[in-house]
Amino acid sequence: MNSTPITVESDLQIAGDILAVQHLLQPAREHPATVAEFVGLARSIAEDRASWEHLVRYDATTRWYHRLRIGPGYEVWLLSWVPGQGSGPHDHGPSSGVLTVLEGELTERGPRGRLTLGAGAQRVFASGYAHEVVNDTLDGAVSLHVYFPGLTEMPMHSCSPATPESVPA
């Protein structure tokens, strides 16, 4: 028998089937509670096109939005963006969130400049984070927004978050 040395990257080693150690396993949660779980929720909804694709509408006069889901302490919103449409500079009050681009491309303008977000891109933001989201392309876009706690306010700002005078000191 030929034995090859095993390189160990950690002091922790698991021998046997970890799933057999029942007291170490956490029961699956019905609703997300951590940032990682909210990101996972957004990703799973994004992958399930049949759950949202038929709901999407485009409106040239105003941004279209639809509340897709509500849970204890969170909301999930579906938004569409025609070319040139934007949110205006704003924050989300006490809500944190996950923005996921489902189709097309959106530009986020924030304190650190512009960020282009293509289909599949996700952006996590903390409460009070000021930004502006715009569809700068010639095609429509669709995005998914998870807010925790649920969105209760969206204060608008008078200037773009990318300008120095709008960044809190």
Candidates 105, 37, 42, 96; CA nearest to 68 is 42
Residue 92 marked as a ligand binder: yes
Mean pLDDT of the region 30-46: 92
Confidence band for 6, pLDDT divided at 50, 70 and 90: low
Per the model's pLDDT, the better-predicted residue between 6 and 144 turns out to be 144
Residue 157 marked as a ligand binder: no
Provide the residue type at 95 as one letter: S
Residue 66 marked as a ligand binder: no
Report the mean per-residue pLDDT for the chain: 86
% of the chain surpassing 70 pLDDT: 78
Per the model's pLDDT, the better-predicted residue between 22 and 30 turns out to be 30
Is pLDDT of 154 > 70?
yes
Q: Which domains, from first to last, does the chain contain?
A: 37-166 (2.60.120.10)
Is pLDDT of 69 > 70?
yes
Q: In what order do the strands lie in the sheet containing 113-118? A: 113-118, 105-110, 132-134
pLDDT for the residue numbered 76 = 98
pLDDT for the residue numbered 73 = 92
pLDDT for the residue numbered 31 = 85
Is pLDDT of 43 > 60?
yes
Query: What secondary structure does DSSP assign to 18-64, as a single string?
Result: GGG-GGGPPPPPSS--SHHHHHHHHHHHHH-GGGTGGG----SSS-E
Using CA of residue 37, residue 42, residue 45, residue 47, what is the dihedral sign? negative
- Name every residue whose Cβ is closer than 8 Å to that of residue 50 and which is 6 or more positions away in sequence: none
Mean pLDDT of the region 132-156: 95
Q: What are residue 165's phi and psi, to 5 degrees?
A: -70, -15
pLDDT for the residue numbered 165 = 40
pLDDT for the residue numbered 25 = 62
Per the model's pLDDT, the better-predicted residue between 28 and 12 turns out to be 28
Angle at 39 between CA 33 and CA 42, to 5 degrees: 105
Confidence band for 84, pLDDT divided at 50, 70 and 90: very high
% of the chain surpassing 90 pLDDT: 67
pLDDT for the residue numbered 123 = 94
